[in-house]
Amino acid sequence: MIQWRLIDSGFCQPGFNMSLDKALFEDFLSGKSVPTLRLYRWAKPAISLGCFQNPNKVLNLEKCRKDRLEIVKRITGGFGLYHSPRELTYSLVLPADFTGNHSVKDSYQKITHFLIQAYRRLGLAACYAKDYFKSASSQKLKASFCFAQWQEYDILIKNRKIGGNAQKRKKGGIFQHGSIPFELPNNIEKYFLETENIQNKYTSLSELGVVNFHRFKEILIDSFKSSFGVELISEEMNQKSLI
């Protein structure tokens, strides 16, 4: 059985979360580390933007400042995401050949299968947008907010998007991360510009009746091991240990 490392970073500051994700990917590309699953949380509310997004063009900066939201950039593309302490985020560093001959788009199905499995083990009827709609692309809205965009391999539960996933590739490796919201405040789209009415377009685990965070994390890790066929070796790496 292939050995991967599991890093549970706990609560970290937004900027540190993004910096550590980048460092883990760079270490893997340089041959300094093995494939890695990292789980982490957000010490305070924040918004992460895709690497190509301009905050001045996609965010209502006045409202962000008023609510003291930190704004960080991801190494991945995609649209803006709202993060809170009531969220579990995963990041993955894996070899470029892990997804075989799949296209970048189709690789999301292989990589996110552990999420589908975890949700279903909770009794939630999770599926990909492509399997629910005849044309997932027809559900796209003009928006800079991730939850307003339904791509083919976004995960839906009860016809609502849960979390978001983004990917970056370099020669020799794939990096992917995604959000798993346990709870989301109302009207989070107010922080984004060009966002159409997307009420009832997204959901969270607490809204779906999942209230035990630690139990969910155990299920997620078990689902990852069974989906990927790997053994996870725990390693401590959090903000406190690296200072």
**Which one, of 24, 26, 30, lies nearest residue 4 by Cα?**
24
Using CA atoms, how far apart are residues 91 and 39, in angstroms rounded to an integer?
7
Residue 112 near residue 165 (C-beta atoms within 8 A): yes
The 3-state DSSP class for residue 203 equals strand
Task: Select which of 12, 51, 127, 146 is catalytic.
Answer: 146
Using CA atoms, how far apart are residues 12 and 70, in angstroms rounded to an integer?
13
Segment holding 224, helix H or strand E: helix 213-228
State yes or no: is 146 an active-site residue: yes
| Distance (Å) of CA 235 to CA 5, 79, 223 | 7, 31, 19
Q: Enter the DSSP assignment of 153.
A: T
Residue 196 near residue 202 (C-beta atoms within 8 A): no
Region at 63 (left for phi over 0; alpha for psi -120 to 50; beta for the rest): alpha
Q: Enter the DSSP assignment of 182.
A: S
**Which one, of 194, 153, 150, lies nearest residue 58 by Cα?**
194
Cβ neighbours, 10 Å, residue 196: 11
Using CA atoms, how far apart are residues 235 and 238, in angstroms rounded to an integer?
10
Residues with catalytic function: 146
